[in-house]
Structure 1
Amino acid sequence: MGDIDVRFYVSILLRRLPYLVAITAVSTVLGITVALLMPRVYQSTAKILVEPPQIPAEMVQSTVPTSSLEQLQIIQQQITTRDNLIELAGKLDVYGGQEEKPSADNIVKDMRSRITFDELQMGGPTVFSVSFQADTPVLSTTVANELAALILRNSQRQRTDRADDTLQLFDDQVSRLAAELDMIEADLLKFKTANKDTLPESLEFRRTQQTSQQERLMALEREESDLRTRRSALVETYLATGQYSNAGPLTAEQQMLMDLNRALAEQLAIFSENSPNIVALRARIAALRTEQEPQDERAANKKTPSGLDLQLADVDRRLKSIEGERALITKSIADLTQSINATPATEASLNALTRNQANLQMQYNTAIAKRAEASLGKQVEVRADGGRFSLLESATPPEKPMQSRRRLIAAAGVMGGLGLGFGLVVLLEMLNRTIRRPTELVQLLQNQPLAVIPYIAAPNERRAFQLRRGATAAMLLLMVPPQSLVAIHHHASLAPSIENVASPNSLGAKQHLPISRDQL
């Protein structure tokens, strides 16, 4: 602080004080002029109440779950679109009092700056406010009420439209699922008809039927074996005894001969012809036949062999019937086996179709239920029972204008003038290379002089300098009225909107004063 020459800087400030005062005065007058010429701005506000749903959500679920704040934001974006703002300005003749109509871009920008949406905290139901600023109370009120009406109309239309869209969505889904369900049911019926013999629901029946047919086939084989044995026995008995089983009781010799023939047939199935057992049996049978021949001749005179023929014919007919029945049963068993083997593949395809049908049926039932909910939700929205916006307070013409920024603009003019004045002083001092202090002379000579004698001006030079400085200050002061006129003209040409009026361009351009080096 000891190196700072306070008296020197104070002398500079006093010497440049006329410039500082003149520039500050000009800027202050301009700021006050602009502040006084600013038009009065009136703001009207309409209040909108967000009513809660009249029907509890537990009873009827609304199809428009958007919150009130989100819904207001959506409506705000819809209202402040370019086309809507231009249409609103033209409908209410917002710029009708101006000689030259602003461009569409300026209208949109100005309208958006005038419209204000706010959420009011009232400790109870949600309340929103919509405000509009204009240069007359009537215009601000008209536009604010029109904006409130637009919000109410758009809110109701938005909720009903969304409810309609939701219901239409489920209607389309139900129609589509119904068509797909009919199609898959037709495919399922066609598949069952084409594969009726291999359906899984008849598998147990076919297996039971297969087992029954196999048992029947085995029974036929046993019966056939018995019939063939009986036929052989009849023939052998007749050949051995000359009688058949139904001719009467057999004698002991005939019974023995029949037993031996049966034993011979059984032994032939085991042993060869040269076996001792076979040879012994044949010898014994031959001996019995020799003894029996006289008795057979006597019996032949009394009975005919027609009974044997009848029994053999009956046995042959039964054997033929068994053969035909066995062929049918064999074919039936083969068909049943084939259908049983094909059942797994049929079951897999049928399960796929049934699974698709079940899925579609479940989706169809869900869509039907949701469509019923959407239909009920639409009725709730149409009746405005699911929550709505209502006008709580209409906008009224304000009695007083808004608190403008006149004081701020005037203060900005004063502060700007001071800043420009000090800036000019600093600039002039930076451009001034005159040696005014001994220290500056020492710095220039790089040596300490014996003595420094200041410049002593003559009386006429001092008076001339004072006259030049006074003339410069007078010129700066005389520039105030023209600058005021320029500000008035600039304001009149840019008055369409508050923002344009308050823009920095209306304060005029900076004035650069031509100051010669002689004046310094």
Structure 2
Amino acid sequence: MSIPQETSALNTTPNLHEFLNIFHRRRTLILLVMMCFVGLSTTAAIVWSPTFKSTATILIEEQEVPAELVHSTITSYADQRIEMIKQQVMSRPSLWKVVEQYDLYPEMRKESPTEGIIKRFIKDIEVEVINADVIDKRTQHATKATIAFTVSYNSRTAETAQRVANELTSLFLGENLKSRERQAQETTTFLKQEAESLAAHIEEVEAKLATFKQRAAGALPELMPLNLQMMNQSDRELMDLDQQIRSLEERKSYLDGELATIKPNTPILSVTGERILDSVERLRGLRAEYPGVAANLSSDHPDVIKMKQEISALERETGANPETEEVAKQLIDARARQATLADRLGENHPDVLQTQRTIVALERELRRIGTGAGNKPMQRPENPAYINIQAQLNSVNSSLQALKTSRTTVKQRLQDYAKRIERTPVLEPDYLTLARDRDTSSQKYQDIRSRLLEAKVSEGLEVQRKGERFSLIDPPGLPESPEKPNRKAIVLLGVILAMAGGAGAAALAEHLDHSIRTPEQLVRVTQAFPLAVIPYMPNKADVGRALRRRGRIRMAGLGAVAVLLLLCHLFWTPLDVIWFATLRKFGVE
């Protein structure tokens, strides 16, 4: 028999009827799997020990004093400080004190090491920050800022959760205060040390600069304009002094010429018109006559003695010493005349002998004058013109000497300034290095001193609790219901998994079962369409099995109802409450 063309186009997509047949065939497996999942989830929801959670909310308040007036030295953001405080609070020594204080994890402490207990404690602690959308004051842009945070602790008992959460909150609040005070004090101490170090460095540089200035002796670069100005001024003074000296020297030459043409003493005439000699002229005349008289007469002759007495008297009167040069000239002339006369007249001639006696007298007079000479003769001029010119000459000589002395001083000063200017380029690099170091250090010192004052004010702000602070706005409360587990969610999840598990088990069983149950399956296997379909006719054994299966289904249904009632009693509303509410609904008391 040929196969009809319709068999090639037979629909192989499962329909609702096939799904119902599959459910009918696999209902026992589906119910068993669902009961297993529901039973496991229910058991987990009942057996799972409750966990209570106590939470405290801490608000981050800004400092009371405006930030424009007092700047805080705490520059980190709130979330950063929270994380730092969290690490400090959750350190091993701090947490272990809490564990011992509240006797946490007693069973675990008997078996597990300390590290395990600390890890478990940290796992039960929860710190969460609360952010809000704010406007940044500096950039005027919207941003997120941490305004608060919560501290929670999970425990099996509500009382322990509250007490430990309260202790952790106290640790967070206390650690925040201590950390802010410590940071402010450390900032102040650091700036103080830096200021002292810079002050010592500045003193050292100042000492080096003082030594350098002493060694420079006025050749500092900053004195270069002054040295140039003083050098130019000294040069002009030197030129003025040279001009004045030249003028005075010309004046002196002129006065010397005038003085040479004027006699110091004006001749004094008698009534008869004869010149009256003064004491000096008489002394000079007697000295000129004495050698001749002494040559002709003996030393004991009255005229010689008289002449000696007159000469001595005139010397005492005039205060002048004997003129040695004049006597020496006369002695030279006498010796020359003696030589001439001796050659011409002979040594025994009376004139030659007279000349020899004159020479002896002059030599004797010269020896006398030599033993008694002390000072040059002082002549007292009498001519007014001579005296005037001599006074002018003395004044010129004094001025000239003073100008020469001043010129020497100015020239020395000019040389000193020139040496300073020559030394300045050599000394400039070292001096500029020291000066730059001093100026930079002084500027840094002033900045650090200003920051130190601000840090001290900020430290006072933190000590007086006027800065940014943590405020407890919601203390840890006693939890009324456990945080975990969510028994309703566990049961609901169990139901969902039961349905999915039942469907999956049925699908897997169908996939593994290769029995032919429908015409479509036969067509797919034999590639031939059946002529007729004979329905299944059960026998007595099949009927008995069906009855027993229905009994089991009824029992399973009753068990499921009992389980649902138990779940409702445990996780939703107690059955007695439902019963009384129902009676009240229908008006039965």
Q: TM-score range by the shorter chain?
A: 0.5 to 0.7
Whether 1:149 and 2:170 are equivalent positions in the alignment is: yes
Which of residues 383, 389, 410 is equivalent to 2:470?
389
Partner of 2:230: 205
Whether 1:132 and 2:153 are equivalent positions in the alignment is: yes
Which of residues 514, 528, 532 is equivalent to 1:433?
514
Whether 1:244 and 2:260 are equivalent positions in the alignment is: yes
Checking the alignment, whether the CA contact within 8 Å between 1:207 and 1:340 is kept in structure 2 is no
Partner of 1:46: 56
Partner of 1:27: 37
1:198 partner SS: coil
Greater relative contact order (Cα < 8 A, sep 6+) = 1
Ranges in structure 1 where 5+ consecutive residues have no aligned partner? 238-242, 249-305, 481-520
1:342 partner SS: helix
CA pair 158-213 structure 1, distance change in 2 beyond 3 A: same
Distance in 1 of aligned mates of 2:469 and 2:106:
35
Which of residues 195, 213, 221 is equivalent to 1:192?
213
CA pair 222-471 structure 1, distance change in 2 beyond 3 A: farther
For each residue in 1:255-282, what CA deviation from the matched residue of structure 2 results, as whole angstroms up to 9, or x when unmatched? Answer: xxxxxxxxxxxxxxxxxxxxxxxxxxxx
1:61 partner SS: coil
2:235 partner SS: helix
Whether 1:161 and 2:153 are equivalent positions in the alignment is: no
Amino acid in structure 1 at the alignment position of 2:437: N
Checking the alignment, whether the CA contact within 8 Å between 1:210 and 1:337 is kept in structure 2 is no
Distance in 2 of aligned mates of 1:321 and 1:58:
72
Per-residue deviation, 1:358: 2.5
Distance in 1 of aligned mates of 2:87 and 2:509:
54
For each residue in 1:162-209, what CA deviation from the matched residue of structure 2 results, as whole angstroms up to 9, or x when unmatched? Answer: 101110111111011101110111111111111123244441334322
Whether 1:459 and 2:469 are equivalent positions in the alignment is: no
2:496 partner SS: helix
For each residue in 1:222-281, what CA deviation from the matched residue of structure 2 results, as whole angstroms up to 9, or x when unmatched? Answer: 545666x659x95xx9xxxxx933349xxxxxxxxxxxxxxxxxxxxxxxxxxxxxxxxx
Which of residues 55, 68, 74 is equivalent to 1:64?
74
For each residue in 1:342-390, what CA deviation from the matched residue of structure 2 results, as whole angstroms up to 9, or x when unmatched? Answer: 3455566545433432222222122112112211221221121223334
CA pair 53-15 structure 1, distance change in 2 beyond 3 A: same
Distance in 1 of aligned mates of 2:72 and 2:400:
84
Partner of 1:487: none
Per-residue deviation, 1:8: 2.8
Partner of 2:191: 170
Distance in 2 of aligned mates of 1:336 and 1:197:
9
Checking the alignment, whether the CA contact within 8 Å between 1:435 and 1:441 is kept in structure 2 is yes
Partner of 1:11: 21
**TM-score, normalised via structure 1 length:** 0.65
Distance in 2 of aligned mates of 1:196 and 1:121:
69
Checking the alignment, whether the CA contact within 8 Å between 1:22 and 1:473 is kept in structure 2 is no
Amino acid in structure 2 at the alignment position of 1:151: F
2:514 partner SS: coil
Distance in 2 of aligned mates of 1:76 and 1:319:
96
CA pair 441-32 structure 1, distance change in 2 beyond 3 A: same
2:218 partner SS: helix
Checking the alignment, whether the CA contact within 8 Å between 2:54 and 2:478 is kept in structure 1 is yes
- Computed over aligned residues only, the root mean square deviation of the Cα atoms, in angstroms, reads 4.5
Per-residue deviation, 1:120: 6.9
CA pair 218-351 structure 1, distance change in 2 beyond 3 A: farther
CA pair 10-95 structure 1, distance change in 2 beyond 3 A: same
CA pair 54-351 structure 1, distance change in 2 beyond 3 A: same
Partner of 2:525: 444
* Structure label with greater radius of gyration: 2
Amino acid in structure 2 at the alignment position of 1:32: T
CA pair 371-212 structure 1, distance change in 2 beyond 3 A: same
Partner of 1:269: none
Partner of 2:361: none
Amino acid in structure 1 at the alignment position of 2:441: L
Per-residue deviation, 1:329: 5.7
Per-residue deviation, 1:451: 2.2
Per-residue deviation, 1:70: 4.3
Per-residue deviation, 1:427: 1.3
Distance in 1 of aligned mates of 2:404 and 2:15:
146
Partner of 1:116: 126
